[in-house]
């Protein structure tokens, strides 16, 4: 059985960089079929992930290439390492995701990890659908400036969102429109007002990227409350929902005449709405701050919303520190 070493890409965030090997090992174990016994190792003072694979086939290498932190691959041959080319899997340049810099932005590597892990839980094979040219549809119902949505474009999927902060949507629209023009790609991008029952309720941003010989890539975002996601998107359903839950007071949950600013209260209201937007066999992936909500309580919310949480040992290896007040974890559930 071949043994491979994966050299991990550096992370601009030094805290995340220190935890990336363990997180990447957990990700690869879930998302790369045929890979066994992923472990950390050091060769000549350089850290790698070492893993056993059933074969170095093109699909296996593509899966490794899509992993959030994979930079290079080597086959171990005795005391030597032989470079193995990882196929290019991103549909667009990754500066679409890396260019925006702003306070509160989720680390790009973690966003890609969250997308990868969530899609690995789909009851229908994402790889088979991707190979057939089908685009998956992914909803981020708290999309901020759209890091999850643009990460979906890298992976060849369509991204849709809802965001309460109008300025965040405007910033996303400006960045994406500028990026598409500078890359000289065939596209459309526009912002329009949304009206219901004769009154304006917000805005909608839509972009479409037309690639040669392939189905277009689309992004669509409504401004609005995440708890209104189903009414905003109507009967539309999605293959997956991927979101990074608020860590503090950006979003609020109205209760009676007051306002409960805890993310836990918001999730309790929003999860049933999101679950109703998932197609059967679809997956919901959520990252959150465990200091504000225990894992077992979140999984109970999943069950109450009619979802089946995935909670084996392989799904419980993603907890990591962001800062002194945030311990981030992720959880995935599927819709039977």
Q: What is the mean pLDDT of residues 76-97?
A: 94
pTM given for the model:
0.92
The beta-strand segments (E) located in the chain are 3-8, 35-43, 46-53, 70-77, 80-84, 137-140, 158-163, 187-196, 199-209, 217-223, 238-244, 253-255, 258-260, 278-289, 308-310, 320-323, 326-334
Q: What is the mean pLDDT of residues 257-281?
A: 85
pLDDT tens digits for 271-327?
Answer: 999 999 999 999 999 999 999 999 999 999 999 999 999 999 999 999 999 988 899
DSSP 33: T
151 has a pLDDT exceeding 80: yes
pLDDT of residue 250: 42
Beta-carbon count within 10 A of 300 CB: 12
Beta bridge partners of 242: 285
pLDDT tens digits for 171-191?
Answer: 999 999 999 999 999 999 999
Tokens for 141, please give them: 């119902």
- pLDDT band at 72; cut points 50, 70, 90: very high
Beta-carbon count within 10 A of 22 CB: 16
pLDDT of residue 132: 62
């Amino acid at each position: 059985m071949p043994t491979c070493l994966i050299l991990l890409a550096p992370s601009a965030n030094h805290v995340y960089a220190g935890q990336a090997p363990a997180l990447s090992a957990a990700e690869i174990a879930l998302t790369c079929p045929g890979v066994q016994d992923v472990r950390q190792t050091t060769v000549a003072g350089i850290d790698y992930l070492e893993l056993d694979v059933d074969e170095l086939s093109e699909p296996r290498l593509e899966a490794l290439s899509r992993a959030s932190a994979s930079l290079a691959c080597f086959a171990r041959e005795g005391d030597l390492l032989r470079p193995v080319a990882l196929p290019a899997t991103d549909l667009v340049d990754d500066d679409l995701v890396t260019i925006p810099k702003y306070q509160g932005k989720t680390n790009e590597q973690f966003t890609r990890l969250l997308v990868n892990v969530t899609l690995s839980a789909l009851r229908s094979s994402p790889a088979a659908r991707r190979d057939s040219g089908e685009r998956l549809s992914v909803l981020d119902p708290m999309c901020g400036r759209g890091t999850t949505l643009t990460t979906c474009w890298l992976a060849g999927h369509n991204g849709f969102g809802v965001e309460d902060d109008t300025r965040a949507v405007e910033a996303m629209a400006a960045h994406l429109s500028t990026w598409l023009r500078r890359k000289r790609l065939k596209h459309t991008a526009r912002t329009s007002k949304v009206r219901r029952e004769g009154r304006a309720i917000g805005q909608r941003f839509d972009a479409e990227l037309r690639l040669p010989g392939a189905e277009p890539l689309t992004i669509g975002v409504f401004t609005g409350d995440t708890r209104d996601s189903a009414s905003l998107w109507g009967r539309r359903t999605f293959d997956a929902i991927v979101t990074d839950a608020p860590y503090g007071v950006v979003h609020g949950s109205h209760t009676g005449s007051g306002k409960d600013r805890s993310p836990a209260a918001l999730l309790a209201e929003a999860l049933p709405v999101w679950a109703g937007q998932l197609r059967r066999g679809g997956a919901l992936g959520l990252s959150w701050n465990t200091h504000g909500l225990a894992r077992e309580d979140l999984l109970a919310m999943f069950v109450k919303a009619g979802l089946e949480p995935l909670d084996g040992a392989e799904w419980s290896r993603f907890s990591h520190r962001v800062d002194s007040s945030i311990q981030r974890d992720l959880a995935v559930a599927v819709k039977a």
